[in-house]
């Protein structure tokens, strides 16, 4: 088994996949550890009610992020992966997806303004929702699907860790009392937007991708390509992200605040497994387009690595569980 594993890992494609998995896992670890520092601070400084107010806004804006993500995290990743050796085609795909996501963002922003001005639950804190909407802008600017498509997850890891560090540092520097709750989504959004802008610079400088004005047909094709993936991911996202929003409509902000802390911690733990799928998806999208039989053979080999990694992770988690419970 060990010799077979060494043979598999000697392949440069598998080494790159493993590197991508480790990079994405690093993101999850940072996003898990930093909240252990910020959550207790924010709940104490803001109070459960204001913390719950911020959590509700994030849950609400999350729906608009789902709409702007559409199915591009899968459909665009696949297209970039298949065409990554053709710079002209990559530039065309990149440009059409970015324009489409921008148009969707503008539509969702208008929809958000209509909602927060029409319903009592939202009318008391318009700035809270506007500041939180910056997360959608940051998400649009940060082309995760591109970096996944070219299988360079290190950029995702580096930029997201940078965003988390900026957020954590500014939280401790600026947020000092209950009245500062509006700074929390503002700081979060600023971090996402800055990282998004820098990621655009990386795409153009490091990968030489150029902006090519897309036609209406290009935009329509992207919407059609991503439609079925959007519906499937929407269904999953609705039942995984709606708990906080629905609870916020039924209970007071303080109760929601307590729930939000617990849910964020469980999500962070669950997210430690997701990098595996994110890392191997673009690779298999590419080789399946070239040779389906090879893809089947490669998948069998990959399952060995996935099985070993997840088994080790599961064992470590079992033994670490008592310690995790104590520190929380």
Using one digit for the tens of pLDDT, what is the confidence trace for 133-144? 999 999 999 998
Phi and psi dihedrals of 168, rounded to 5?
-65, -45
pLDDT at 228: 83
Distance CA 200, CA 204 (A): 6
Q: Is the dihedral of CA 157, 158, 163, 166 positive or negative?
A: positive
- Cα gap 279→260, rounded to integer Å: 29
pLDDT of 305-325, one tens digit each?
A: 667 767 776 787 677 767 755
The C-alpha atoms of residue 136 and residue 67 are separated, in whole angstroms, by: 10
pLDDT of residue 60: 93
Cα separation, 44 vs 238, whole angstroms = 30
Q: Measured between alpha carbons, how far is 27 from 157 in angstroms, rounded to an integer?
A: 5
With 70 as the cut, is the pLDDT of residue 9 above it? Answer: no
pLDDT per position as a tens digit, 89-136 = 999 999 999 999 999 999 999 999 999 999 888 888 999 999 999 999
Q: What is the pTM of this model?
A: 0.76
Which two structure tokens, joined as six digits, stand for 58? 């994030």
Would you call 302 helix, strand, or coil by DSSP? helix
Name the token pair of 89. Answer: 């085609």
Comparing 290 with 12, the larger pLDDT belongs to 290
The yes-or-no verdict on residue 199 having pLDDT over 90 is yes
């Amino acid at each position: 088994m060990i010799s077979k594993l060494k043979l598999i890992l000697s392949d440069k494609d598998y080494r790159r996949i493993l590197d991508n998995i480790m990079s994405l896992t690093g993101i999850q670890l940072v996003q898990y550890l930093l909240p252990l520092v910020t959550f207790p601070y924010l709940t104490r400084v803001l109070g459960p009610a204001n913390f719950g107010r911020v959590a509700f806004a994030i849950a609400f804006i999350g729906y608009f992020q789902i709409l702007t993500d559409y199915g591009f995290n899968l459909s665009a990743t696949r297209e970039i992966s298949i065409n990554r050796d053709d710079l002209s085609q990559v530039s065309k795909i990149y440009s059409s997806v970015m324009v489409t996501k921008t148009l969707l963002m503008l539509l969702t922003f208008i929809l958000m303004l209509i909602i927060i001005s029409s319903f009592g639950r939202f009318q008391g804190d318009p700035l809270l929702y506007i500041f939180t909407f910056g997360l959608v802008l940051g998400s649009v600017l940060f082309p995760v699907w591109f970096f996944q498509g070219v299988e360079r997850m290190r950029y995702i890891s580096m930029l997201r860790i940078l965003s988390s560090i900026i957020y954590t540092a500014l939280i401790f520097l600026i947020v000092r009392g209950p009245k500062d709750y509006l700074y929390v989504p503002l700081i979060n959004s600023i971090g996402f937007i800055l990282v998004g802008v820098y990621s655009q610079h990386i795409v153009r400088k490091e990968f030489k991708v150029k902006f090519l004005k897309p036609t209406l047909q290009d935009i329509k094709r992207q919407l059609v390509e991503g439609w079925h993936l959007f519906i499937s991911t929407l269904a999953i996202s609705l039942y995984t992200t709606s708990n906080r929003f629905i609870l916020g409509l039924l209970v007071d902000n303080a109760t929601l605040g307590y729930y939000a802390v617990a849910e964020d911690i469980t999500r962070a733990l669950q997210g430690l497994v997701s990098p595996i799928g994110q890392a191997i998806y673009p690779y298999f999208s590419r080789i399946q387009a070239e040779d389906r039989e090879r893809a089947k053979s490669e998948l069998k080999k990959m399952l060995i690595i996935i099985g070993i990694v997840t088994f080790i992770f599961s064992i470590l988690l079992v033994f670490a569980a008592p310690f995790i419970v104590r520190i929380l």
